[in-house]
Homo-oligomer: A and B are copies of this chain.
Amino acid sequence: MYKFSLKTNEQGLYDITKLVRQAVYDSGRREGLCVVYCPHTTAAITINENADMTVREDIAYGLEKAFPNRAEFNHLEGNSDAHIKSSVLGVSQTLIIDKGELVLGTWQSIFFAEFDPPRNRFFYVKII
């Protein structure tokens, strides 16, 4: 199991593809699965477009509109919206390894999604 750290200053999607790909190379696996796991409850892992930076900004904005912080929430920390977004995107993503490479579409990257910044975060990569 590989462990990686990142520091987040703002809400949004942080590209972690290079780190995950490096773990796949280090493992020497030619065929298998790669699980990327976020151990936090106000962040997530997601896969989406890497080419145009506005896509990830629009994703964060669209999620904020769908899951705003509501006055009726009871959680005293005041970050229930971040908890909801974490469950909606999910904390675990499973990727395929084929011929020694992570299988990703042309426009896909893997992102760590931060919904309650700033934080010192980490994530795990497991290859089987």
Assess the A108–B54 pair: CB atoms within 8 A.
no
Number of copies of this chain that the complex holds: 3
A39-B108 CB under 8 A given contacts A67-B62, A70-B62, A87-B89:
yes
Contact A59 B80 (CB under 8 A): yes
Task: Please give me the residue from chain B that is nearest to A62 by CB atom.
Answer: B84
A19 contacts across to B, CB distance below 8 A: none
> Is the interface on chain A under 10, 10 to 19, 20 to 34, or 35 or more residues?
35 or more
**Nearest CB of B to A31, in Å:** 8
A122 nearest in chain B by CB position: B105
Contact B70 A65, beta carbon cutoff 8 Å: yes
CA–CA, A41 to B89, complex, Å? 14
The interface centre, meaning the residue of A62, A67, A76 with most chain B CB atoms within 10 A of its CB, is: A62
Complex CA distance for A105 and B46, rounded to whole angstroms: 18
| Inter-chain contacts of A72 with B (CB < 8 A) | 61
Q: Which residues on B sit within 8 Å (CB–CB) of A128?
A: 32-33, 128
Contact check, A61 vs B70: say whether CB atoms are below 8 A apart.
yes
Other-chain contact of A87, B37, B59, B77 (Cβ < 8 Å): B59
Contacts of A81 in B (CB 8 A): 62
Q: How far is the CB of A28 from chain B (nearest CB, A)?
A: 16
